[in-house]
Structure 1
């Protein structure tokens, strides 16, 4: 399927690895010029080189913390008028709510609530003027169901979802859409780190922990960055102009609900 994205420009936050990289790869495959972002310059350089070689599109990289004003300015300097913005950022580490002090709460809110809103405010007006824009926010399954130790991340991302529910309807008449992708258990470094902690705490092997958790998912497997990225690319495509304000859950059926 031709997604109608050839020549479009996309900023993909936190995209040197994992789900962000999956989104960047899928958009590059569809013909988009990409601005990558990450904090580890070596990993970012490897990702940039691999994508340029594979897809033949323009790939720039910005090593910066997207949660900071300086980081955002650097991204927007590299791509002042993106057609596509993929909001993604690391979340707060697993921690019981009793361990969260004021500074931790504010940092989590900045990472997963304030930052994506700031970037949307920066890019949406020009998208409206051009009559086309696609904004996709990578949030989490935890927006819909609790995950132990991720209360701060869940609260910030749920707040973002509610905030943008009104904003997306303001932008819709101009051909600009805002949607959210909610990953469940995806085969990423973060998930593997959780397996390692669980194995250490329980005295169970890593392979057993992995098998147990996969068995809890109706699809009987974990998701991967490639399929996640392809879903993101579709939401950015010309075929998805009538889809806005939606939360696409990618969890293999783990969340047990009809609606």
Structure 2
């Protein structure tokens, strides 16, 4: 399906690997000019070259920590305008909530709530003026089904969802949409690190932890990043203009609820 976004400019945060990389690849494949972002310029350069070679798209690498004070401004300065924004950032490390001190708490909220909001504030008026905009925020399945040890990540991402829920309704008239993608267990480096931590804590092999994880998912497997990227690209498409303020859970059926 032609997504109708060829020639648009997309900024994808934290996109040198994992789910962000998958989103960047699909948007490039759809014909967008894509800004690829990572904390290290070398990683951004490498990802941009690989995506460009695979898709033929123009890909602009920007090495900057979007959570730094000047991060959002430096990222957005790479292109004249932004038609599509994909907010993404690594979550804080898993830990017992009793060990989350004030410094860690504020850092988690800054990375997973405040920084995405700053980026939305910077681009949304231009989108409204041009009568086209797509904003997708990658949060987590733990927003709907909290997981012990990921309390800070869940709380900050839930805060982002609540903050932008009203914003989404205020700009929908201008063909600007704001949605949320909630990944479950995907085959990424972050999942591997969590499995390694669990294996060490339980004194078992990583393979056993992975097998136990797959067994809790009705699909009996972990998600592939490409599947996530395709869902992101659709929410950014011209055809998705009537979808806004929604949280799309992609978890292979792991969440047991109906709402």
TM-score in terms of structure 2 length: 0.98
Range 14-23 or range 205-214, more displaced? 205-214
Q: How many residues align?
A: 259
The alignment status of 1:24 with 2:28, answered yes or no, reads no
- Give the CA RMSD over aligned residues: 0.9
Give the aligned partner of residue 187 of structure 1: 187
**For the Cα contact (< 8 Å) 2:42–2:63, is it kept in 1?**
no
Distance of 1:52 and 1:237 partners within structure 2: 20
Give the aligned partner of residue 212 of structure 2: 212
Task: Map 1:1-259; keep pairs closer than 5 Å.
Answer: 1-259=1-259
Distance of 1:213 and 1:76 partners within structure 2: 38
Unaligned runs of 5+ in 1: none
Distance of 2:47 and 2:117 partners within structure 1: 26
| Displacement after TM superposition at 1:201 (Å) | 2.0
Tell me the SS of whatever aligns to 1:207: helix
Distance of 2:128 and 2:191 partners within structure 1: 37
Range 24-33 or range 193-202, more displaced? 193-202
| Cα deviation digits, residues 212-247 of structure 1 (max 9, x gap) | 110110000001110100000000001100000000
**4+ aligned runs moved over 6 Å, structure 1:** none
| Displacement after TM superposition at 1:131 (Å) | 0.3
Tell me the SS of whatever aligns to 2:142: helix
TM-score in terms of structure 1 length: 0.98
Distance of 2:59 and 2:137 partners within structure 1: 21
| Cα deviation digits, residues 68-92 of structure 1 (max 9, x gap) | 2321111111024110000001111
Unaligned runs of 5+ in 2: none
